A and B are shown apart, each in its own frame.
Chain A
Amino acid sequence: DQQVKQNSPSLSVQEGRISILNCDYTNSMFDYFLWYKKYPAEGPTFLISISSIKDKNEDGRFTVFLNKSAKHLSLHIVPSQPGDSAVYFCAANPGGGADGLTFGKGTHLIIQP
């Protein structure tokens, strides 16, 4: 049973516009959430994170929003750039422990010129 869900396998956005990537989770024990970016044949790279006590975290062009009551988070990229084309993974860490992260299946973001 998938505890972290990214229901959009792919998303196409025009360069300069806003990209919104969505993620839903089912486990109310998740306290910390992370977004990773992955290029083909490379390991994922950490982008941004948020804890369950916050509803927003911003870092440059990237903003993550958390709606704890809806068990939903989203990653906003503004403005979108060609280098943003990659697969984005949503991940969760239950209780702040040292266990591995629980990942979604990813969303392939394609930025069109």
Chain B
Amino acid sequence: SQTIHQWPATLVQPVGSPLSLECTVEGTSNPNLYWYRQAAGRGLQLLFYSVGIGQISSEVPQNLSASRPQDRQFILSSKKLLLSDSGFYLCAWSTGTSSYNEQFFGPGTRLTVL
């Protein structure tokens, strides 16, 4: 069966510090991968998605970036965090073969920028 891991689970960082969140998927090959953010009182906002190694599509221009160095690894980064980057970050995967594009989410990372 497929599993998706995210770490760390929680993170408290000062403004201006760098960020690296990692996501890995097991039990599947060539998944589509996604990063979402849920800010307080808001829905899930798509940040990035990837359909293959090295292929990144950005949905929202911001100070975040994403990379996919391996087939089942997806990394979210920032060089300098802003207060507005606080939120709950979710990684998700899909098979890429379903028209519904049902996505399966990881446990999330709670990021607090102080």
Binding site for B on A (CB under 8 A): 4, 6, 31-32, 34, 36, 41-46, 49, 51, 89, 91, 93, 96-106
Contact = CB atoms under 8 A, between A and B. Distances in A.
Contacts of A101: 44, 46, 101, 103
Interface in B30-80: 32, 34, 36, 41-46, 49, 51, 57, 59
Contacts of A104: 43
B100 A44 contact: no
Interface of B: 32, 34, 36, 41-46, 49, 51, 57, 59, 88, 90, 92, 94, 96, 99-108, 110
B99 A96 contact: yes
Nearest to A99: B49
Given A32-B100, A100-B49, A45 B105 contact: yes
